[in-house]
């Protein structure tokens, strides 16, 4: 590593330059970028469309979902029924993708209310409650136990304190 005591790059600013006018001075450059990303998708044989992102100079690819793969949402839980209710309600009320199942992995809860709640949700709204047999906490083992009891093509891991806000969240992840 050495210091080079010279200016190697200089960006001049004048009244008509992008540096002075800002990013909106050359919208055709961003349209060309969008076309370049689309051309890459086409070359790779990937089905999708490109749109401008939330900020100028960024792009969002909307991939086509091939088929309708089943999604298994694994949620470990220990007590905290009110928190789990919010999570499950946000999934069942908001999610627009329909081919999913929810696996709640019970992790050594102690409150009677928790087990009463499990009885009301098990088998409804694509929800299945499974009971982790071990007595010590091991997050990875809980997730793996949920996966063993799932039937999905893809797995999503959620904490029980998650509340969804985007209806097409599964499509975006797919």
Angle at 50 between CA 46 and CA 52, to 5 degrees: 160
Residue 158 has pLDDT above 70, yes or no: yes
Name residue, tokens 């919010």: 86
Q: How does pLDDT run across 97-135, given as a tens digit for each residue?
A: 999 999 999 999 999 999 999 999 999 999 999 999 999
Distances (CA, A) of 153 to 27, 32, 99, 147: 41, 37, 10, 10
Q: How does pLDDT run across 30-39, given as a tens digit for each residue?
A: 999 999 999 9
Residues in contact with 41: Cβ distance below 8 Å, sequence separation at least 6, in sequence order:
47, 48, 50, 61
pTM (two decimals): 0.79
Q: Is the dihedral of CA 136, 141, 147, 149 positive or negative?
A: negative
The C-alpha atoms of residue 51 and residue 127 are separated, in whole angstroms, by: 35
């Amino acid at each position: 590593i050495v210091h080079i005591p010279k200016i190697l790059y200089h960006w001049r600013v004048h009244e008509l330059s992008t540096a002075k006018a800002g990013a909106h001075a050359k919208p055709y450059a961003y349209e060309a970028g969008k076309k370049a990303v689309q051309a890459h998708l086409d070359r790779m044989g990937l089905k999708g469309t490109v749109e401008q992102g939330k900020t100028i100079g960024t792009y969002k690819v909307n991939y086509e979902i091939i088929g309708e793969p089943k999604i298994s949402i694994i949620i470990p839980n220990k007590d905290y029924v009110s928190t789990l209710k919010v999570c499950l309600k946000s999934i069942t009320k908001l999610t627009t993708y329909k081919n999913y199942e929810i696996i709640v992995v019970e992790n050594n809860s102690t409150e009677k209310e928790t087990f009463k709640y499990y009885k009301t949700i098990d088998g409804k709204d694509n929800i299945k409650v499974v009971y982790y047999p071990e007595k010590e906490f091991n997050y990875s083992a809980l997730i793996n136990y949920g996966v063993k009891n799932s039937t999905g093509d893809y797995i999503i891991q959620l904490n029980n304190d998650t509340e969804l806000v985007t209806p097409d969240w599964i499509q975006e992840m797919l």
